[in-house]
Chains A and B, each alone.
Chain A
Amino acid sequence: MSRIEDREDDELLYDLGGTEHPTFLFLDAAGEVLGRHDPGDTSVKALEETGAKVKRSLDLRKKAEAGDAGARVDLAIVRCELGLFEFSDLQGELEGAALTPEQERAVGALKADATVSDMWQVLKKNRDEAAKSLVAEEFLALYAKGKHPARRGNRRFYWNVLAGQGVARKDPAILGAALEGLRAVAGATPSEREVQALRELEEKLKELAPAK
């Protein structure tokens, strides 16, 4: 690999706590990182949503600094959604706090993402049947509670595992949900590979639940 020597800002990504390419960051004018955007979705809409979330976090910070306890909780949740700290740290921040239903839902979604990320690490280390069973079990539990991950990369992994479970268990509800989930991940311009994979799942779903 070649490298351009003495070029300005070559270490900047690492200085800002990033390691992967691509990385998308929102910073303030002083260079403080305010949010990290999920690189799995580079649509303008998704980036604008992250930008709006960053702006919201700045508003919440002002309110929290003024003593607003509800804003302090919302700020912790938004900062976790913006990738500024881990879910385990969020749990520490929220200890003892009474959450509103909306806050509970947001925390539930973050927990789902954290679980899916953890399961990805499990499979990276070991792809034996025990590991695959553990992952399937965790994802079926999330699915049963209606708690699905939000990050695109996590969603692809999650719905692919559930699609496999839907087929293996001959369960059209799980397979149908997984198919919808994967269609959403593929978006408006799916790759050829995605189109093929979705078509195969549609055929399998027809076998499990023939149209009446």
Chain B
Amino acid sequence: MRRMLSALCVVAAAASAQSFEERLEEKLKKPFASNASWVKSFAEAKKQATEGSKLIFAYFSRSYAP
């Protein structure tokens, strides 16, 4: 699957003791996420997908959601 996909990750933020970046890092350690090179810009994901003839896999989350 990795070969066919560019990965886009967009995570909304919420106020919390743990930093936004720390929560994002935890999410991206999950098995489904850990092997991807994530980008946080839709424009960049589309550019990479076009150049690589790939599809885009997008993951939307919140800092307090899975």
Q: A residues bordering B, Cβ < 8 Å?
A: 1-4, 8-10, 12-13, 16, 18, 21-31, 34, 39, 42-44, 47-48, 51, 54-55
Contacts and interface: CB of A to CB of B under 8 A. Distances in A.
- Residues of A contacting B: mostly: loop
B1 A48 contact: yes
B15 A2 contact: yes
Contact of A21 (B12, B41, B43, B46): B12
Given A12-B42, A24-B59, A51-B1, A29 B13 contact: no
Contact of A1 (B14, B43, B54): B14
B12 to A, nearest CB: 7
A2 B12 CA distance: 9
Contacts of B37: none
Contacts of B32: 42-44, 47
A24 B66 contact: no
Contact of A51 (B10, B43, B57): B57
A10 B5 CA distance: 21
Given A10-B12, A29-B49, A47 B1 contact: yes
Contacts of A25: 56-58, 60
Interface string B23-66: 00000001110000000111100100110011111111110011
A28 B50 CA distance: 9
Contact of B46 (A10, A30, A51): A30
A61 B53 CA distance: 18
A4 B4 contact: no
Give the contact-size bracket for chain B: 20 to 34
Contact of A28 (B12, B15, B55): B55
Given A4-B13, A25-B56, A29-B49, 8 more contacts: A9-B42, A13-B10, A13-B60, A23-B59, A23-B61, A31-B56, A42-B30, A43-B31
Given A9-B10, A9-B42, A42-B66, A26 B31 contact: no
Most chain B CB inside 10 Å of its own CB: which residue of A10, A24, A27, A44: A27
A1 B15 contact: yes
Contacts of B30: 42
A18 B31 CA distance: 23
B45 to A, nearest CB: 8
B13 A18 contact: no
A24 B1 CA distance: 14
Contacts of A42: 30, 32, 66
